[in-house]
Structure 1
Amino acid sequence: MSRAQAFQKRRWICLAAALVICVCAGFGYAWSVLQNPIVAAHGWPEGQVSLAYTVTVVCSTMAPLFFGGLIRRISTRMCIALGAVLFGGGLFLTGAMTQLWQLFLFYGILSGLGCGFIYPSMMAYVVRLFPDRSGLASGLGTAAYGSGAILWAPTSAVLMNTFSLAWAFRILGILFLAVILAASLLLAEPPEGLREALCPSSERTASPEEGGLCRKQMVRTPAFYLIAATFTCGLIAGVIVISQASPILQATLSYRAERAAVFVSVFAACNMAGRFVWGSLSDKVGIRNTMAAVFVLCIASMLLLTVGEQDVLILAAMGLAASCYGGFASVLTPLTAQTFGPKYITENYGVMYVVFGLASLIGPSLATTFKTVGNGSYTGAYLSAAALAAVGLALSRLLKPVSCKGECYGTE
């Protein structure tokens, strides 16, 4: 029995460990239950506190760009260990913050960079584990990451009520550091020849690795900027809901923080479900048609939030927006491969991942700004997000694959 054949059973253990790591890294989706307690505990302006979430997402999306060479040179286990130290350590230090800049440094930069080392590496890893079931593996990975708030939002609320805000950060920091490091010990590098052993030769021929633009070539094409603008416009609505869910529910529906935390988990489940549903649909009706449907529903969800007054309608609209966010996340990877070719998909996706950071720069700022000028109303933010989604819908109809001829030189 070859090493590749013997590895087939062990890879399921590796996948389980990777999913545990992704769930821990998805803690950032629980931010909305942390924002108001931070404001109340320290008296800092809400608009400035909300920027910490933006800093976290930006750092996590930029990490593969600035540290891509390091990530490629070290082992997966070492990369995850480094990310665990930054991620868990950043959260632990957040528990000791006394000034606003420390929130940005510890929670925003350190934990954000840690997440940037962990999540993209895990996504590439699970696909290498299952070259014969890459869609299943990537779907499980993104869903595990997106489902983080289902567990961590109520957990954070309980810890803050039982102990304090500071100790909640310290406990979670230690927990994530220990769990991620322990899970990383179960990771093993896939042996050479695994793809050949698992995939029929006809399948390998149908999905060639040849052809494609590398990162340097991709960023010189108009298609790159078109995709970036399209997804940024579409993701903003979901970012508003995911990052501001608890404050929105407390301000709009007068929910207590504990009850709002429950719905943060519900919206995280909608985000996770959207990744499965929309990703599966794109295989049947095509990526462009799927994106059009997601954009239309995204616009509808924002318009419903502007006119909705009943709890059920508002909650349904927020859940729909969260599922649309998951839908955009599920089609970005295959669209990148379809547009620029599959050969350099790992590094190209690392660049395209920046759209999540761009949306996170805009979304929370829109929400807090319009809440301030609108005397607690988020209507202006909803209308702005709907307008941007309409722009994204128009841009999405212009997307086309680019020519992938020629070799890419000068890459690492």
Structure 2
Amino acid sequence: MSSPKDFNVFARRRWVCLISAMVICICAGFGYAWSVLQNPIVTRFGWADSAVALAYTITVLCSTMAPLIFGGLIRRMSTRTGVIVGAVLFGGGLLLTGLMNQIWQLYLFYGVISGLGVGFIYPSMMAYVVRLFPDRSGLASGLGTAAYGSGAILWAPTAAALMEGVGMDRAFQVLGVLFAAVILVGSLLLTDPPEGFQAAMAPKRGGEQGGAADLRRGQMVRTGTFWKMVVVFTCGLVAGVIVISQASPILQQTLGYTASGAALFVSVFSACNMAGRFLWGSLSDKLGLVNTAGAVFVLCILSMGLLAVVGQEVPVLVLMGVAASCYGGLASILTPLTARMFGPRYITENYGVMYVVFGLASLIGPSLATTFKTMGGGSYTGAYVTAAVLAAVGLVLSRFLKPVSRKGE
């Protein structure tokens, strides 16, 4: 057990660690710029929209499955080592994507390799920032997820400009090297909290931080609460995934936007995603995690329902922005809610398992969008209605979430 003096020293240093983690998350958030990449890949190689869109689903699935498949390995690594492994995979995957000429290579390089890299980086960073700030877990989670969600604000226009200036192949190569270098440098500033730091800094008052058993992931997945959370968050995230992954095609198809004009709003929606993460993450420390989730679900239902019936430019843009912010809001509270439901002690491995909800939502969302677009002659109405119904299911089930007690559920 470390001394109070060690805790005080680390309490000051943790801000540097948090900033470093946020920079790393900004780089890892490049995947949110996918909708800027999709059409150029289709145009360059002539592959079908749905086939190319599958690459996004694969990369998210691989990023979410990495903590499940390599959970034991990640648990034995220090935070810094895990991030270094992720940087090599993530940057290397993008670099290799710049050499592709067949669609299986897109799936392997961009989807699998870079996706696994993100899986080593982002879940670890989210658990890490909550460990840094057990006294302000909502704020820390909000900042971490906001950094991750802000990636496309910077990378969507950057990627578009690079592809126009040096070509798509070279753009992937430049970005791969850049991301690997920045993440590797950032990892040097990460330090794990001293033993006993979380217990010493955790709020002493009663409330949402207490009462839950400290379950390991094998115990967690055998509880009903775990499966409720999986369904709740998967249902809620689908709406945001539709907007984030398909924003550029949606705007070009339904509003007649050019590729460059759509790319601008990809960044705008990413800003909404980022703002939702910070806003709802911060509010959750005051409103409570379950209440915050309920408010986000209501906004999600309204935005999707209205998108199904309105077609004017300004309302469509506003509602898509709201949906993106809802995605960010749910992302920001997933980490602290996991700690709330199953205890904070094993948050790194437990969040790695819970992170699978992003993969499930990313499997459903783009598929809904492309399927209903094809069936509806270019209309996304069916996808919006389905997403609204799923969000309503998530809202109802979220009312039944309760921490797993030390005596069982």
| TM-score in terms of structure 1 length | 0.92
Maintained 8 Å contact 1:211/1:343: no
1:35 alignment partner in structure 2: 38
2:323 alignment partner in structure 1: 321
2:45 is the counterpart of 1:64? no
Q: Percent identity?
A: 70
Q: Deviations over 1:8-38 (max 9, x none)?
A: 4433322222111110000011101001111
Determine the C-alpha separation between the residues in 1 that align with 2:349 and 2:33. Answer: 28
2:15 alignment partner in structure 1: 12
Q: Per the alignment, do residues 138 and 391 of structure 1 end up closer, same or farther by CA in structure 2, a change over 3 Å counting?
A: closer
Q: Per the alignment, do residues 150 and 69 of structure 1 end up closer, same or farther by CA in structure 2, a change over 3 Å counting?
A: same
Determine the C-alpha separation between the residues in 2 that align with 1:131 and 1:42. Answer: 48
Alignment of 1:234-253 (within 5 A): 234-253=236-255
2:154 is the counterpart of 1:154? no
The alignment partner of 1:92 has SS state of: helix
Determine the C-alpha separation between the residues in 2 that align with 1:386 and 1:128. Answer: 34
Determine the C-alpha separation between the residues in 2 that align with 1:347 and 1:249. Answer: 38
Q: Which runs of 5+ in 1 are unaligned?
A: 407-412
Greater than 6 Å deviation, 4+ residue runs = 203-206
Shift of 1:113: 0.3
Maintained 8 Å contact 2:134/2:202: no
2:382 is the counterpart of 1:361? no
Shift of 1:352: 1.2
Maintained 8 Å contact 2:128/2:348: no
Maintained 8 Å contact 2:281/2:329: yes
One-letter amino acid matched to 1:234: G
Q: Per the alignment, do residues 319 and 202 of structure 1 end up closer, same or farther by CA in structure 2, a change over 3 Å counting?
A: closer
Match of 1:288 among 276, 279, 290: 290
One-letter amino acid matched to 1:32: S
Shift of 1:79: 1.3
Determine the C-alpha separation between the residues in 2 that align with 1:44 and 1:329. Answer: 32
Q: Which runs of 5+ in 2 are unaligned?
A: none
Q: Per the alignment, do residues 307 and 285 of structure 1 end up closer, same or farther by CA in structure 2, a change over 3 Å counting?
A: same
Alignment of 1:15-26 (within 5 A): 15-26=18-29
| TM-score in terms of structure 2 length | 0.92
Shift of 1:3: 4.3
Shift of 1:101: 0.6
2:49 is the counterpart of 1:46? yes
Determine the C-alpha separation between the residues in 1 that align with 2:75 and 2:90. Answer: 19
Shift of 1:339: 2.6
Determine the C-alpha separation between the residues in 2 that align with 1:279 and 1:202. Answer: 20
The alignment partner of 2:308 has SS state of: helix
Q: Per the alignment, do residues 130 and 227 of structure 1 end up closer, same or farther by CA in structure 2, a change over 3 Å counting?
A: closer
Maintained 8 Å contact 1:126/1:138: yes
One-letter amino acid matched to 1:213: L
2:377 alignment partner in structure 1: 375
Maintained 8 Å contact 2:124/2:352: no
One-letter amino acid matched to 1:338: R
1:137 alignment partner in structure 2: 140
2:280 is the counterpart of 1:278? yes
Q: Per the alignment, do residues 11 and 151 of structure 1 end up closer, same or farther by CA in structure 2, a change over 3 Å counting?
A: same
Alignment size in residue pairs: 405
One-letter amino acid matched to 2:231: A
Q: What is the Cα-based RMSD across aligned positions, in Å?
A: 2.3
Maintained 8 Å contact 1:5/1:194: no
Shift of 1:201: 9.0
Maintained 8 Å contact 1:4/1:192: no
Determine the C-alpha separation between the residues in 2 that align with 1:393 and 1:102. Answer: 39
